[in-house]
Amino acid sequence: MGSLLNITNDTFEQEVLKSSTPVLVDFWAAWCPPCKMLGPVLEEVAPELEGRLRIVKVNVDEQGALASRYGVMNIPTMILFKDGREVARIVGYKPKARLLDELSKHGI
């Protein structure tokens, strides 16, 4: 699914929690229609925010432990991490303008 990095339980700490750049983690699944709608939005936003934000994906079917660890009940759920801490949670499909608006509230 696109060019965004897929994160696993093994790579989460290094790629997300230890990142010096804020990271938006997209919790998704292949069978989820809103997730499929969100994918192209994230693919479009990622290069625009390069240097200010990294966007990565977590497949909840393959990485159920991560979804449980962060209490992801509905997908898509995007969690914004800054300095290893969750600072925002965006649940459900968001068109590009709404997503950028949400991120701008956190200085991105």
Those residues whose C-beta lies under 8 Å from the C-beta of residue 35, and which sit 6 or more positions away, are 26, 28, 29, 75, 76, 93
| CA–CA distances in Å: residue 22 to residues 33, 44, 96 | 27, 17, 18
Q: Which of helix, strand or coil describes residue 103?
A: helix
The residue assigned the tokens 């696109």 is: 2
59 is a catalytic site residue: no
Catalytic residue among 35, 56, 75, 90: 35
Catalytic residue among 23, 32, 42, 67: 32
CB 47 within 8 A of CB 97: no
Eight-state DSSP code of residue 39: H
35 is a catalytic site residue: yes
The residues annotated as belonging to the active site are 32, 35
